[in-house]
Structure 1
């Protein structure tokens, strides 16, 4: 287990009730050893979302998740089962596939031609020695599963079963109709900030008036309320916001433009956000779903995959969600910029964590999840 250069006293202060709690120590956001711990003991031991089930709906369809240097390959088999493997040939370690996704009949190493079935079994190994046991040299498996239409993988073979690990999801994400949504666009980008700063930013809305004035006009922060995180330590945290009078959705024109609702009629004027610890962020709008998948790359760099999903009936002639895409392109740029300013600030000798604002209960709930992981590691180290 990586060493953690953090004080139990500082971490315990995070767990105090909100009025007297103190945020995580500054080095939690920039220290290389803390980052190594986050990689190994948080992301390395959690079920991580790698996409939606519909992305690999047909046999042979695959996606490559950037969770390791070589990537994790997730593929739909001929038997329709979803499996995941390390994207590494068992012969001389060349990566099997490059890119984000595709479809193929089998897997073939570009270096020496070892080929594998979609099940991961080794089909052929040119020039292998006599008696070579192909059955013992299939691709290295990674656990995979599907929950709520999302595809997850676990790098840790000892992780709890998926549904037990992710716990009870917010009720608005558990509706079976959401599993049929279709992706309208994917955007990938990097934020020059620690992954925890990115999640904390998602967990509060009182920065809207200064950072996102356009978003504040449509979902005023004074009308926001948190969901979950009531001290139970569950992996889901969320919040609910009301649309401003006259707004039908969050977009440049604030109108749905004929896009079908993907929520019940009673929720047509609400936005519901939810974070699954450690790195899946979701925002359910009346007519579309946003998801953000965070992968830490360095103490001060986080890779983000942002997807937008719509009702299948929306994809008719004339469908143009450009008003949604343009709006969130602007908001995401604003979030990147403010998180990067934070990252520069946490390295300053002039910064010492002080307090949470009383409207930052969502941030506090997330930090409590992190602090518990850190304290457990410190306890194990000293036991």
Structure 2
């Protein structure tokens, strides 16, 4: 019960606490980018300034989205010759095009004359790439085919479109805007190529797309994706297809019932993994996440709960037309993380999501649902069944990211400790983030 004396005592305390917060935050504001990173206590979250500062945001884009390999699309974005997809990352713009020989090419979306954008953001189909400004015209292989009024000494071969380093892995289109590309993309390629191969994902099409702009920093979006501490309370649709033990758990003081459930979980996992391996479907976990990684990734094949077929509310396939020529529906969830994306591939459909930072407090989250190229809507699948899990999950995550971003910008915010059982990958992401900036002298 509160008394007048206790209320008065509380009022006397409030200014001193508030003043301490103000002094703490003013001190943080004076710290450099590197000092802020180094101020993080091991096992704790990042300082709030790293989520809200414009200077930090610009450096993040430069390092993590221009100097690293980033996912920018899927091959089904440009299914036919002449199809074009534009992706903007910071001040840079990338033009993805399928040429007349069915090859996917990527270029800087900059005319070689006076720099005009060749295409605006979005998708289109062209015969050639024509600059609206002065009609400089480029073939789909990037070569300059027409430039009027430049005289006989002008050499068009010197003004081809500027190519972008590109890797197609499965259906994933990875690009790097830097000349010095991280070589460990080869590890990702070597790991994922045989895992994706049975699905024949380049013979897929986009059944549905979703774009969300989350009012939060890109790092918070990725941190949220790296843990399932929150899943049981906030993602009823997603958890329908997950085994509870995959969320992470504290192994201390388990009840007898929980111990039995854990043993059953281990047995089911082992049985499924052995069955997949016998049929040639690789499922072992590979992690390339620690501080010495540049092209960070993690992959595993998760057992799906219930009917065990797909990430749907029923846990059965949403599309009866399976990828490639797959012989079985129960192939689990082939999962892939990178530092700007997450992927779930099931026997019948895939959900591929990547993020692009727009501002310190704005992040574009773009998701694509893929099905077999010959799958027919209304006959082989219904869009609602296909999308209901991840449409709901993405919107739920949007809210979680936004309330977290707002909280990290509050003067009262002090980074809290991570759970070693359910947030170890968030802690690891923070260490990797610091290491990569350190490698660039920050």
TM (norm. structure 1) is 0.85
Conservation of the 8 A alpha-carbon contact between 1:5 and 1:33: no
Conservation of the 8 A alpha-carbon contact between 1:24 and 1:371: no
Point out the more displaced range, 124-133 or 293-302.
124-133
Corresponding residue number in structure 1 for 2:398: 336
Relative distance call for 1:9 and 1:242 in structure 2 (3 A) is: same
- Pair 1:304 & 2:337 matched: no
Greater helix fraction, Structure 1 or Structure 2: 2
Conservation of the 8 A alpha-carbon contact between 1:185 and 1:308: yes
Corresponding residue number in structure 2 for 1:18: none
Point out the more displaced range, 77-86 or 264-273.
264-273
1:71 aligns to what SS in structure 2? strand
- 1:86-97 to structure 2, matched below 5 A, reads 86-97=108-119
TM-superposition CA deviations, 1:156-190 (whole Å, max 9, x none): 01113574274654588433424233321111121
- 1:152-301 to structure 2, matched below 5 A, reads 152-161=174-183, 163-164=185-186, 166=188, 168-169=190-191, 173-179=195-201, 180-224=203-247, 228=287, 231=290, 233-234=292-293, 235-238=296-299, 241-246=302-307, 248-256=309-317, 259-262=320-323, 268=330, 270-277=332-339, 279-301=340-362
**Alpha-carbon distance, 1:330 to partner:** 1.6
**Alpha-carbon distance, 1:108 to partner:** 0.8
The structure with the larger Rg is 2
TM-superposition CA deviations, 1:19-42 (whole Å, max 9, x none): xx2222222211222211111111
TM-superposition CA deviations, 1:99-121 (whole Å, max 9, x none): 42222221111122111121222
Matches of 2:357 and 2:364, distance apart in 1: 6
Corresponding residue number in structure 1 for 2:416: 354
Conservation of the 8 A alpha-carbon contact between 1:147 and 1:163: no
Gaps of 5+ in 2: 1-31, 249-284
Point out the more displaced range, 147-156 or 63-72.
63-72
**Alpha-carbon distance, 1:134 to partner:** 2.1
Conservation of the 8 A alpha-carbon contact between 1:192 and 1:343: yes
Conservation of the 8 A alpha-carbon contact between 1:107 and 1:115: yes
Corresponding residue number in structure 2 for 1:148: 170
Point out the more displaced range, 336-345 or 205-214.
205-214
2:35 aligns to what SS in structure 1? coil
**Alpha-carbon distance, 1:246 to partner:** 4.7
TM (norm. structure 2) is 0.75
**Alpha-carbon distance, 1:231 to partner:** 4.2
